[in-house]
Amino acid sequence: MMEFFTHFTNFIGHLAPKQLKKYLLGVLLIVGLLTVSLKYFIYTKSHELVTRIKRLEKLDGKISDMQDKYEMLLGEEERIQGLLNKHKDFNIKSYFETFYKEQHITPEAGWDADARSINEKFDEIALSATFKDQTTEKLVKILEEIEKKEILSVKSLNVKTDKDKKISFDIVIATIKAK
């Protein structure tokens, strides 16, 4: 190693000043190019890594949101299962027949319940009926009574104004049943 330095010093010492400037300029140019290349490489890699980190942070946020929604759905599923256990023998058709008699209203002919699958655990049973010649007060009372029955929900309501300040309405009530 010492020999290399001795040889190098002898080589530099025998160079003319112009040649020394050329060699120094060449070395400085090479060092400068290496420095710029290294900086560019570090910049592009760091930019790429920052972009990846930002993507991962977004995905982490989405995963957290999905986990929160999943936990909320589990809670809702437990609530529904509790309602179903509480009202094991609930039949929407029987309930509706009793309900409209108690409310002293008569639905138009053709009302019926219809079942559709919500997911692998539950079916939704919806019953649609039409009532004519009713008052707004009667509709409000009907909706209040349906709301009291926690296993039922009003899925849709379409109100039309008739003559003589009467209304007609189409209502769809629904319940859930375990498969």
| Spatial distance between the Cα atoms of 95 and 84, rounded to a whole number of angstroms | 15
Contact predicate 139/160, CB 8 Å:
no
Give the residues across from 128 on adjacent strands: 112, 172
Question: What's the topology of domain 90-178?
Answer: Threonyl-tRNA Synthetase; Chain A, domain 2 (3.30.980)
pTM for the whole thing? 0.61
Residue-level pLDDT, tens digit, the chain, 179 residues: 788 888 888 888 888 888 888 988 999 999 999 999 999 999 999 999 999 999 999 999 999 999 999 999 899 889 888 888 888 888 999 999 999 999 888 899 888 899 998 888 888 999 999 999 898 899 999 999 999 988 899 999 999 998 788 899 999 999 988 87
Contact predicate 127/93, CB 8 Å:
yes
